[in-house]
Amino acid sequence: MLKLLGYLFGFLLGIIFVVLIAGALILIPPKPAHSEPVTYTSTIQCNKYEFLNKTLVQEYGENIILIGVSSDNQSLLHFFGNINTGTWSFVIKTVNGVGCILFAGDGLSPYFTKEKISSQIH
């Protein structure tokens, strides 16, 4: 009987401890990840990928700079850019041949210069 009371007392102390910790966590205000909320707005334009590709190449002089495969292997991500004009487009191509321009802009400039690349090699 005494052993049972000991278990019961330990169980009650455990519950009180959990309640106290939970109450303390509720009273601590969460720290925001960013001081100001960040909102992105973009108009997504979709069409046949071949049409988007042709338009970006012919009208904007953009060419594919980078290609990546999505983690679910259902789409390709293409980064188009024109170093001369600075325009760029981020395009997703789905397995059914549809392409969507997710983001586009200007101000494209190379991150790596010949000097930076050379310094990394030597």
pLDDT score recorded for residue 40 = 63
Please give the pLDDT value at position 117: 60
Q: What are the residue ranges spanned by the domains of the chain? A: 45-110
| pLDDT for the residue numbered 92 | 92
pLDDT at 45: 84
Specify the pLDDT at position 19.
43
If you average pLDDT over every residue of the chain, what do you get? 75
| Torsion angle in degrees (nearest 10) through CA of 68, 39, 100, 54 | -90
Q: What residues in the chain have per-residue pLDDT under 70?
A: 1-42, 112-122
Strand order in the sheet with 98-105: 45-48, 98-105, 88-94, 75-81, 63-69
